[in-house]
Copies of this chain bind each other. A is one copy, B any other.
C-alpha cells in the first residue's frame, strides 16, 4: 500500500522532468495552465484517500471523461448495441486519424479514440433526455464532490476548434454510424472533456474499476464484475492513445489519459490512482505523470502483469 511518504517522494522524483514535455496548446484555455502543477492521489478499496501535491486542484480531465461516458453507456445499452458501432482494438494510429475510420467503414477502432468517444456521445444522446446533466451528476456522485462543474470556457473553446471532430462525425454519418445531429452531440462531447476534477475526485470516481464494479465511495454497483473486467481490458489495450503498449510495458496498469495532463490508473482489487502534470510526451500522455505511475508501480510492487 502506498503511504503518504511514498507519494511525496514519487512526486519529488519526477518533478525534475517538468520542462521536458509540452503543455497542450490547441486551445488557449489549456495552454495557460502552469506547467509546474503536479499531483497524485490514491484511493484504496478500503476507502482511504492518500494524496500529495496539487491533488485537490481541479483541472480539465479531457479524454479521461471517455471512460466515464463509456461506463454510463454500458449501463443503458446491451453490449451488442455498443460493440456493433465501435470496436475493441487498439488503433495503431494517432488519436484523431481519419484514415483508419474511412478504411474500416466508419466503425471506430475503440471507444477511447475521438471517433469512438463521439459514437458513445451519440449513443448517450439517443437514450438520455439530458445527457450533459446526467454525466455531471454521475461524476459528482461517484466522487462525492458536489462542486464539480464543466469549464464553460474550455467547452466553448473546444467548440471553436471542432472542425476535425466535426469531420469525424460527418464521416461516420456518411457510413450510417451516427444517429443524431452533429453539433449537439459534439457540444456534449466537448462538455464531457471540459469536466473539471481534481486527482482526489478522479481517484474516488473510478474506484469501481478496482472494486469489481462497486463504487467504494457510494457503495453502489455501477457496473457488473464482468463489465469491470471488460472496462479494464479496454483501458489496458486502448486507454493511452498510441502509447498503450509503452504504458503497459512501463506501468503495467489499465489507465486512461487526457491532454489536460491527467491520468487515472487501476490496480484491480486494491486501488485507483490519479496523477496530474500538464506537460505531455510525444504520444499526448502526461510525461511526468506516466513516470510517477511507473515509479509508484515499482515502489509498491503492483502491476497487473
Partner of A89, one of B230, B232, B242: B242
**Quick check: B88 and A91 within 8 Å, CB to CB?**
no
**Quick check: B170 and A163 within 8 Å, CB to CB?**
yes
CB contacts (< 8 Å) of A100 on chain B: these are 92
Task: Tell me the bound Cα distance from A88 to B236 in angstroms.
Answer: 14
A268 at the interface (CB under 8 A from B): yes
Task: Tell me the bound Cα distance from A163 to B248 in angstroms.
Answer: 34
In the assembled complex, how far is the CB of residue A46 from the closest CB belonging to chain B, in whole angstroms?
A: 20
> Given known contacts A89-B92, A92-B89, A238-B245, is B233 in contact with A98 (CB within 8 Å)?
no
A269 (CB) vs chain B CBs: closest residue:
B305
Task: Tell me the bound Cα distance from A234 to B298 in angstroms.
Answer: 18
Task: Tell me the bound Cα distance from A39 to B168 in angstroms.
Answer: 41
**Which of A12-20, A102-110, A285-293 is the interface stretch?**
A102-110
A303 at the interface (CB under 8 A from B): yes
> Given known contacts A89-B90, A268-B304, A304-B304, is B252 in contact with A245 (CB within 8 Å)?
no
Partner of A233, one of B89, B166, B245: B245
> Given known contacts A102-B97, A167-B170, A170-B170, is B246 in contact with A89 (CB within 8 Å)?
yes
CB contacts (< 8 Å) of A90 on chain B: these are 89-92, 237, 244-245
The 8 tightest CB contacts between A and B, nearest first, are A92-B92, A90-B90, A232-B305, A167-B170, A233-B248, A163-B174, A164-B174, A167-B171
14 contacts between A and B (CB under 8 A): A89-B244, A90-B90, A92-B93, A99-B103, A110-B245, A163-B173, A163-B174, A228-B305, A232-B252, A232-B305, A233-B249, A234-B245, A236-B305, A237-B248
